[in-house]
Amino acid sequence: MGCQPLEKGKPKHKKGLWSPEEDNKLRNYILKHGHGCWSSVPIKAGLQRNGKSCRLRWINYLRPGLKRGKFSKQEEETILTLHHMLGNKWSQISQHLPGRTDNEIKNYWHSYLKKKVAKAKEMDFHNQMKYASSSSDTMDSSNSLQKLATQGTQNFNFTNEACQSSLPKLLFAEWLSLDQVNSANTVDSFGLRNGLDQNSTLEEASIHDMSEVPFGGGYHRCLANISAPEMFNSELKYANEMVENGFIHCVPGVDLSSNFSMSNDGIMYI
DNA sequence: AAGCTTCCCAACCGCTCTACG
DNA sequence: GCGTAGAGCGGTTGGGAAGCT
């Protein structure tokens, strides 16, 4: 900010892979002077690149402390957990993985983890189908609503991220399991509190009720009446879709976003 | 060995947000 | 309040490497 438009009148910038000489120029300049205003870096460092390209090269490759090479099992699990909670917020995810860049994590996700998750999801689906067919004969009437909801969600065409992930979808509380809530006032290993929306904290989220609801073939602990809007906007959209499709019932004319809760029988109450 | 396909990763592109004049 | 420019982010692409036929 506040930088002079130094790049005006310099339309030709080199593109493509960086040469070792270019790397040296950039590294030496930044280590000596700091990057300051990125748009002025290439000129001062004697590079035929634009500031944006220099910034990216520094962040993703030249910056000290970068970890290269294969991701560890623990890093992989961290990525999976945080991606499930945050979605494609690569920069936020990278903050929890020292030495890894958002670009690296993003590439790793697209080239490896995404497929792994898809495969796991497929296996999970087959297991659910297997379980459903073997237990249907013994199901009593008290379970019929749950079965209905379960079948309904399986047939429902979810278009959001929930159906792209193999990890279990937790209605209303995708990223707030009971355990996380219980440990919310302590620091967790991933710094999950930081992973929550920056504008909302657990303290801001009032949690009045917990229940189990049938969903996607399994029972998930579910928080109701989460009042921090940032925390459940995606779930709210999800809930609206379920209401529209008749899987959840609510009092007509009431704005779902104002408040909601869910009882053990899977019916939403406003 | 040669040609083809797939995978991986570095880099680019376009968009949004923010600070400044 | 508005326009402009820089910073940052996520999606996408291009090219080289590796694997396969």
Q: Which residues are registered as beta bridge partners of A210?
A: A223
A13 contact to strand C (CB, 7 A limit): no
Residue A173 inside a domain? The answer is: no
In a domain, A52, yes or no: yes
CATH number assigned to the domain comprising residue A85: 1.10.10.60
Distance A160 CA to C21 C1' (A): 39
Strand B within 7 Å of which CB atoms in A 98-157? 103-104, 106-108, 110-112
Q: Is the CB of A53 under 7 A from strand B?
A: yes
With contact defined as beta carbons under 8 Å apart, do A96 and A190 qualify? yes
Whole-number percent of chain A with pLDDT over 70: 42
The residues that bridge with A211 in the sheet, in sequence order, are A222
Same domain, A47 and A96: no
In a domain, A262, yes or no: no
Answer yes or no: is A126 within a domain. Answer: yes
A121 lies in some domain = yes
A231 SS3 class: helix
Rounded to the nearest 5°, which phi and psi values hold at A62?
Answer: -95, -25
Q: Is the CB of A4 under 7 A from strand B?
A: no
Q: Which of A23-27, A156-160, A244-248 has the highest mean pLDDT?
A: A23-27
The most confident of the ranges A43-52, A175-184, A190-199 is A43-52
Chain A residues 41-100 within 7 Å (CB) of strand C: 51-52, 55, 88-92
Are residues A60 and A96 located together in one domain of the fold? no
Same domain for A74 and A58 = no
Residue A118 has pLDDT above 80, yes or no: no
Question: A264 versus A102: which is more confidently predicted?
Answer: A102
Report d(CA A42, CA A174) in Å as an integer. Answer: 44
Range of the domain at A53: 14-64
* Burial class for A92, CB neighbours closer than 10 Å (0-12, 13-18, 19+): middle
Strand B bases within 7 angstroms of protein beta carbons: 7-14, 18-21
Residues 30-49 of A with CB under 7 A from strand B: 49
Task: Using pLDDT thresholds of 50, 70 and 90, give the confidence band for residue A16.
Answer: confident
Is A92 a residue whose pLDDT tops 70?
yes
Domain-ending residue, one of A64, A81, A96: A64
Same domain, A82 and A52: no
Are A41 and A76 within one domain?
Answer: no
Same domain, A122 and A73: yes
How far, in Å, CA of A249 to CA of A23, rounded? 61
Q: Which two tokens stand for residue A66?
A: 């970068």
Residue A103 belongs to some domain of the structure: yes
> What are A99's two structure tokens?
């030495």
A60 is near strand B: CB distance < 7 Å: yes
| pLDDT over 60 at A198, yes or no | no
A205 within a domain of the structure (yes/no)? no
Distance from CA(A100) to C1'(C10), angstroms, rounded = 16
- Same domain, yes or no: A56 and A84: no
Q: How confident is the model at residue A88 (pLDDT cuts 50, 70, 90)?
A: confident
Q: How confident is the model at residue A135 (pLDDT cuts 50, 70, 90)?
A: low
Number of domains in chain A: 2
Across chain A, where does the E strand assignment appear?
209-215, 218-224, 261-262, 268-269
Is residue A132 very low, low, confident or very high in pLDDT (cuts 50, 70, 90)? Answer: low
Last residue of a domain, one of A130, A147, A170: A130
Give the closest residue to A190 by CA, choosing from A65, A70, A81. A81
Round and report the angstrom distance from CA (A197) to C1' (C1): 30
**Per the domain annotation, does A83 fall within a domain?**
yes
Last residue of a domain, one of A26, A43, A64: A64
Query: Is the predicted pLDDT of residue A4 greater than 60, yes or no?
Result: no
Instruction: Please report the sign of the dihedral spanned by the C-alpha atoms of residue A258, residue A262, residue A266, residue A269.
Output: negative
